[in-house]
Structure 1
């Protein structure tokens, strides 16, 4: 029997790659996206063009915050699995446009939860973020750690989503799996991410802004590893934990949280050097102080993921960045 999945944010970076993988695996995929202009909508449309025409793919342009449209969506085809990736992304932008984060990441997620409740969906997987760890200074970040001190509104809305999902798992028995992604990069990526904007600026001979004077670390995770982690978790439907202890990663409800990260933090200066090598061009750097909402380091403990699905991301940064640079040059033409 063919499995039908709803992917929200299907024209986004992760959503596009996931849809392509599930279509190749024989799934029926329905995707939604509002194609907003947070970054170049043409890139989103070009991602969609790679999916459209596949007989098992259907796309609808829908905004998560549109309650009526979301109710109509869930009143139609039944979804065996919902993978909710759509969100207003970006830590720094949340300082400029806070309302859009509540509209999409809170109100929009409520509409997803209500749709899953109405349909009795078999498994809801939803994107959270490493940002929820906020002011937590204990590294590596573990799903067993408390996450009560977000340092940006973006992080707060992602943590709110985790709590909302738990309440629906508890009240209505909806199996929910939260996915905390760590600095995802790769071909067809997001132009607002540092690796993407750094590439553009280096090739254009422009200075790249480096915050906290480069004294930062990130757990860069290649897109293929993210997709592998998600697909392996789809059939791992959580159930209530017997004799449940007070553990943030699980629950007496059918609910679980997983980190998906490369568990190898890289110094920002080392990252820039690797990108320079892939581009064969030196960067001009503008050293800047720390920005509000940022954290100094991210580092994923993925032991729970390994235990659950026998997988941990492991793509080396150099290999992943080279794949991105090669794609960038193909997509944007003769970028020198």
Structure 2
């Protein structure tokens, strides 16, 4: 009979999966519900070790947290993790009717995957079934049973994944895989959340890639930039898929449309760029001039003439300004008295779910 520490009192609820079982318990010391996942098959022990190693490194609002590791017996290991009650996103999903709500869903998922990737870890089984919404409305990713560290060792000889969400390259054997497999699965998840199903072509093994993309055809009125970005997540070429950090940041810009604010300081005078004051033009004689405009999504160089540098790099019209930078009017070859400097700092409001 399986033995667990006395601090964990079983609630009597148990679940099973392809790689093990999960017991819902009450942590008597910290007074919180937890889920203890066990794998008893020695054949799956390496996968469980991968899952534990990945989750112990993660501190993300959008990924379940691991609290403890148990060695139940020589052939079994268990992890004590955050328990989220209720149905997963596959079971509970309702097709959104507003783009803003859809963006917020995707931003949460993209944030969790980006946090995973920043640790050099690949989840490898991103799908709505492996996501739940906690009581505060936060979407969290779980089930790292297929996780592998990114790098030269990220190879396998057999396919393990979920039809419809597995990237085309996962059907080749043997193959190397990258974080782009999670990006593809994110794109498939985004399409499922928008429509409640996946196209027949994506359900084939391997999946077919749409030459025109799917997201521009959605009933939701999503922006062209987001539609192009989500379509690129489903590219058949892994190298053409965006990073999840870029996906997360693009979604954040659209969620915060017209709510950004930038402080511009030049020669001791401060001005603010935002939805009410969208443009500013600053110059230093005939040496250099720059115009900056806020388009609701980002702050961009609207025009430039003469010698203008941003963080000591040449700038051209249409370039976005980084979150914090120094704009120099006058090239670096000039003496300091022949140059003027503008400090530019963007403050990003918090995304409220």
Q: Place the TM-score, normalised by the shorter chain, in its bin.
A: under 0.3
Larger Rg: 2
Going by fraction, where is helix more abundant, 1 or 2? 1
Going by fraction, where is strand more abundant, 1 or 2? 2
Report which structure shows greater RCO (CA 8 Å, sep ≥6): 1
User: What is the TM-score when the length of structure 2 is the normalising length?
Assistant: 0.23
User: What is the TM-score when the length of structure 1 is the normalising length?
Assistant: 0.24
